[in-house]
């Protein structure tokens, strides 16, 4: 892993191909665990990782009020934070080439329509603009939350880099130590260090799973 900390807020340059085949279930909410895994525990629209809290829901790309036959169809379901899901709601814009519609991450490469600059979503197309406006991706609270998330990730990343550099030195000191008491103290310190590493790795893997970063 490099020293520069990554961010979960980068839209994919390729469309998402579904990996899982859960169900079938008669109730869409029964797909929530599969959808969380499918979309790397992040909202498909704003990319917020669920590891940082908040409520995440099953989102019907084609609204169930208008497409009742698709209400429990896995290919129509996404993982979304409550804010994005609520703002999209029952709105529907028929997808058309070069038209304005809500970007579909399984049919579109999100990065062709949206990108982040200074934690603000910037549109690259009519569809991106409509998506950003409909979901209010740049409301002040969302932008501030992204900034805070990136700060937490940067801190965890920097700490992890330092811990991994420190570990060989502790191991070397243990191997060289002759005094049993001091050796045990060093071994205890190593156990604590490894626990700290494990905790940060778990956080970073869940937060950055969509980006494919090696932690």
Domain 142-209 in CATH 1.20.58? The answer is yes
- Lowest mean pLDDT of 33-42, 172-181, 206-215, name the range: 206-215
pLDDT(31) > 90: yes
Tokens of 145: 């939350």
pLDDT(2) > 60: no
Tokens of 188: 């205890």
First to last CA, the chain: 6
Return the domain boundaries, the chain: 142-209
Using a CB cutoff of 8 Å and minimum separation of 24, what contacts does 34-41 make?
34/74, 35/77, 35/78, 35/79, 36/79, 38/79, 39/78, 39/79, 39/105, 39/210, 40/209, 40/210, 41/79, 41/206, 41/209
- Which has more confidence, 98 or 13? 13
Whole-number pLDDT of residue 29 = 95
* Burial class of 105 by CB neighbour count within 10 A (0 to 12, 13 to 18, 19+): middle
pLDDT(209) > 90: no
CA distance 91 to 62: 9
Element (H, E) at 131: helix 126-135
Q: For residue 206, count other CB atoms closer than 10 A to its CB.
A: 18
| pTM of the entire predicted model | 0.84
CA distance 164 to 159: 9
- Lowest mean pLDDT of 92-101, 130-139, 169-178, name the range: 92-101
Tell me the residue length of the chain: 215
pLDDT in tens, 135-169: 999 999 999 999 999 999 999 999 999 999 999 99
Tokens of 179: 């005094």
pLDDT(73) > 80: yes
Looking at residues 201-211, what average pLDDT do you find?
A: 79
- Which has more confidence, 33 or 98? 33
Whole-number pLDDT of residue 211 = 61
Q: Which residues contact 135 (CB under 8 A, 6 or more apart)?
A: 45, 46, 83, 84, 87, 88, 102
Whole-number pLDDT of residue 12 = 93
Looking at residues 11-15, what average pLDDT do you find?
A: 94
């Amino acid at each position: 892993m490099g020293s520069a900390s990554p961010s979960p807020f980068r839209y994919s340059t390729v469309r998402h191909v579904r990996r899982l085949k859960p169900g079938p279930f008669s109730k869409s909410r029964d797909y929530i665990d599969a959808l969380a895994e499918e979309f790397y525990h992040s909202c498909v629209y704003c990319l917020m990782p669920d590891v940082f809290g908040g409520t995440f829901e099953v989102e019907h790309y084609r609204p169930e009020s208008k497409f009742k036959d698709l209400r429990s169809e896995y290919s129509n379901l996404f993982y979304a934070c409550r804010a994005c899901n609520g703002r999209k709601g029952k709105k529907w814009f028929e997808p058309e080439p070069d038209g304005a519609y809500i970007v579909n991450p399984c049919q579109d490469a999100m990065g062709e329509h949206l990108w982040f600059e200074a934690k603000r979503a910037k549109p690259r197309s009519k569809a991106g603009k409509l998506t950003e406006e409909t979901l209010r991706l740049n409301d002040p609270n969302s932008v501030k939350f992204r900034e805070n998330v990136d700060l937490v990730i940067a801190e965890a990343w920097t700490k992890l880099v330092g811990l991994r550099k420190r570990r060989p030195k502790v191991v070397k000191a243990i191997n060289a130590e002759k005094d049993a008491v001091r050796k045990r103290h060093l071994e205890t310190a190593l156990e604590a260090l490894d626990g700290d590493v494990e905790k940060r790795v778990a956080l970073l893997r869940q937060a950055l799973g969509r980006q494919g970063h090696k932690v």
